[in-house]
Each structure stands twice: as structure tokens, then as C-alpha cells.
A and B are shown apart, each in its own frame.
Chain A
Amino acid sequence: MQLFSIEYISLVVGFLILIIGIWGILTRKNILKMVIGFSLFDTGTHIIIVALGYVRNKTAPILDQVNLQTNTAQKIVDPVPQALVLTAIVIGLGVTALMLVYAMKLHNEKKTLNIEKYNDLKW
């Protein structure tokens, strides 16, 4: 496995962004910062999935030239992870918008965004 190739570097960068996102969720006390951490977590996961579908020295899965239309499986990258990530990005936007509206409603009730002041559910 060649160490310096595009997909390996993208894989490592994706994992690092994912870990930075989880660190942001676990250590920050401001609710909006936690939502930013979730957004980074999503971005890192999508980079990992697309990097896993890369085939060396092949081109994008769009059949616009005639020489791509015969014997296609040896000439393009994997189209299935790209279709999955397309769906996942749009769902990530929906969930982020929902989390932000919840944060706004929480701020209305208690006038603070510090998560340590919310101890209604603590035993």
C-alpha cells in the first residue's frame, strides 16, 4: 500500500477532522460550539466515505465521451459511495438546522447558552 497517494492522505485527514469534531462536542460548554462540532463530524465522515471509493488513475463516473461507454468498469471510479454521500450531506443540513432551532428555544427559556446551567435532568 503506497503511503503517499491521494486517497490515503484524504483518509487520514478525514479521520483527523472527525476526531477534532468529537473533541469539540465533548469539551466545549457553549451549545452553539457543540453544534459546530457536529457539523465538523459530518464533514469528516463524508470525506472518509468518498476517499474509500477512489480507484487509482481513473476518471469521474460521467459517460460524456464515446470511449468511456464501452468496457466502463475499467475506466471509472466507484459511483456508489458518491450516491450515498450525496444523500448524507442533505440530511446533515436538515439535522443541523433542527439542532440550531432547539438551541434557540433553550436560550429563550433560561437566557443562557452554557450547558452546565441546565441541570433539570440530573439525578
Chain B
Amino acid sequence: MILLLITIVLGLVMLIAAVIAVYNKDMKTAIIAAGLTSLFASVLYVLLAAPDVALTEASIGSGLTTLIFFYVYNKIRRNNAQE
């Protein structure tokens, strides 16, 4: 019963974060919201009895993807400011 409640709360937070990632005008907020969706998906994988997948999603989806997004965003901003 308590597991069901945790799943419902996680699902709602993931959906709200996904909507923020698509609709927000500011780019930094959108990138962090996409990383937050991956992080909560990793917790959902632990509840679905898949610890390998949870480890992979937490390290790659929520760590390295956000890092690469921020590097590219920074380069584009620096390029814009130079011209």
C-alpha cells in the first residue's frame, strides 16, 4: 500500500518536471528539469525490482546528459556574445 502511494507521488512529480522541461522559456531550467525526470525515473526502477537499470539511468541519464547539455549551451552562449 505504501509502495503504491510512493509510485503515484513519483509519477506525478515526473510528469510535472517533464511539462516544465518542454514549456519553460529559460533554457537552464528546462535542462535541469529533464535531468530531474531521469533522476526520479531511476528511483522508479528500484521500485520495479531492477537495480542494474537504476544504476545506469542515474549515472548516465541524470549525470552525463545534463553535463553535456550545459557544455553545449555555454559554448553557444559564448559564440553569441562574441559576434
Let me know if chains A and B touch directly in the complex, using CB atoms closer than 8 Å. Answer: yes
A residues adjacent to B (C-beta < 8 A): 4-7, 9-10, 12-13, 16-17, 20-21, 23-24, 28, 30, 32-33, 35-37, 39-40, 43, 46-47, 50-51, 53-54, 58-60, 62, 77, 82, 85-86, 89-90, 92-93, 96-97, 100-101, 103-104, 107-108, 111, 113
Residue of B48, B49, B61, B68 touching A100 (CB-CB under 8 A): B68
Q: What chain A residues lie within 8 Å of B83 (beta carbons)?
A: 111
Q: Can you list 8 contacts pairing A with B, beta carbon distance less than 8 Å?
A: A6-B4, A9-B8, A13-B44, A20-B18, A37-B22, A85-B50, A90-B56, A113-B76
Interface of chain B, main secondary structure = helix
Asked if B44 and A47 sit within 8 Å, CB to CB, the answer is yes
In the bound complex, CA of A60 to CA of B52 (Å): 9
Q: Is the interface of A mostly helix, strand, loop or mixed?
A: helix
Q: Is the Cβ of A100 less than 8 Å from the Cβ of B72?
A: yes
B52 and A82 contact, CB distance less than 8 A? yes
A97 touches B68 (CB 8 A): yes
From A27, which residue of chain B is reached at the shortest CB distance? B22
B11 in contact with A9 (CB, 8 Å): yes
Known: A46-B41, A89-B61. A36 touches B48 (CB 8 A): no
> Which residues between 28 and 53 of chain B lie within 8 Å of chain A, taking CB atoms?
30-31, 34, 37-38, 41, 44-45, 47-53
A93 and B64 CA atoms in complex are apart in Å by: 8
Number of interface residues of B (CB under 8 A): 42
Of the listed residues A35, A43, A90, the one surrounded by the most CB atoms of chain B closer than 10 A to its CB is A43
Give every chain A residue within 8 A of B76 (Cβ-Cβ).
32, 103-104, 107, 113
A10 touches B44 (CB 8 A): yes
* Residue pair A32, B56 in contact (C-beta under 8 Å): no
Contact call A33/B48, Cβ cutoff below 8 A: no
Chain A residues with CB under 8 Å of B30's CB are 33, 36
A13–B50 CA distance with the chains assembled, in angstroms: 17
